[in-house]
Structure 1
Amino acid sequence: MNPVTWFEIPVEDMERAIVFYERVFAISLKHYDMNGTDMAWFPAEKDEAYGATGTLIAGDGYTPSAAGVMVYINVENMDDVLERAEKETDVLVPKTDIGGNGVFAHIKDSEGNRIGIHSH
């Protein structure tokens, strides 16, 4: 079983962050107000027991940072994602082959977080 069940990526400007993630990853996020906390949830497969998903989150105690815990987002086509990312932000680590484990890269998101991208 996947040990990660949920992640939260801190943002300062939710609308800007939603636009960034939807453009770069070609996904739709669902924007919610959860008891006064501004969130935008990543898509997830219903009843997926072994995957993880998470949210963009804005509020007290949530400060974007390029240091600290990193989240890796799984993508089908690394080249397509990096092409879109290069139009929006800095690529911090280019596409890097990790043998039988696929490829990875790091980008800076719209809020200054370091985000990993992984593809098998």
Structure 2
Amino acid sequence: MMGPLGFCLLALAACQQGQTSPAGSSPLPQERPAMANPVYHFEIPVTDMDRAIAFYEAVLELKLNRETVDGYEMAFFPRADGKPGASGALAKGDVYVPSKTGAIVYFDVADIDPVLERAVARGSKILYPKKHIGAGGYVAEIEDSEGNRLALNALAD
């Protein structure tokens, strides 16, 4: 499993592809390859890794892979290399502070209702109830076990 530094370096290499402007400086915008989904990796701050892993595995019904990267505890979400979209990790350390006011990560789920039920059963608060948003399907937001705002998206009901 690749750590955050490796993800960043790989993403940077993919963006630059060694192309430079005629003067040999930075890449020209039209020379950069098109990226369908520009977000490559995210990290969700946690204060109690065991509790956070138990929450995310139960609520999203997936398995996280625990590692230590540069001295920080991490738990990586599954990643399908070569497929569109991003993956990320739970991260614990002095630079990781849970919050409901920062960026919001949306998790794609098949059906929001059972995910909300599992989250509430694990002590989660619903911050934004399930809402239909047209062609985008449905969204909802919850508070995770660590106090972060987490969003859910489902294309069908």
Inter-partner Cα distance in structure 1 for 2:70 and 2:39: 24
More strand by share: 1
Among 117, 132, 137, the residue aligned to 1:97: 132
Root-mean-square deviation (Å)? 0.8
Which structure 2 segments of 5+ residues have no match? Answer: 1-35
Question: TM-score normalized by structure 1?
Answer: 0.95
2:151 pairs with 1:116: yes
Provide the secondary structure at the position in 2 that maps to 1:93: strand
Shift of 1:106: 0.3
Higher Cα Rg, which structure: 2
Shift of 1:55: 0.3
Provide the secondary structure at the position in 1 that maps to 2:96: coil
Inter-partner Cα distance in structure 1 for 2:42 and 2:130: 23
More helix by share: 2
Q: What residue identity is the alignment partner of 1:4?
A: V
Inter-partner Cα distance in structure 2 for 1:37 and 1:61: 9
Inter-partner Cα distance in structure 1 for 2:82 and 2:49: 27
Provide the secondary structure at the position in 2 that maps to 1:32: strand
Identity of aligned residues (%): 47
Shift of 1:45: 1.4
2:52 pairs with 1:52: no
Residue 13 of structure 2 is matched in structure 1 by none
Residue 43 of structure 1 is matched in structure 2 by 78
Provide the secondary structure at the position in 1 that maps to 2:103: coil
Question: TM-score normalized by structure 2?
Answer: 0.74
Q: Aligned residue pairs: how many?
A: 119
Residue 25 of structure 1 is matched in structure 2 by 60
Provide the secondary structure at the position in 2 that maps to 1:106: strand
Which structure 1 segments of 5+ residues have no match? Answer: none
Q: What residue identity is the alignment partner of 2:56?
A: Y
Provide the secondary structure at the position in 2 that maps to 1:12: coil
Task: Give 1:65-84 correspondences, 5 Å limit.
Answer: 65-84=99-118
- The structure 1 segments of at least 4 consecutive aligned residues displaced by more than 3 Å after TM superposition are none
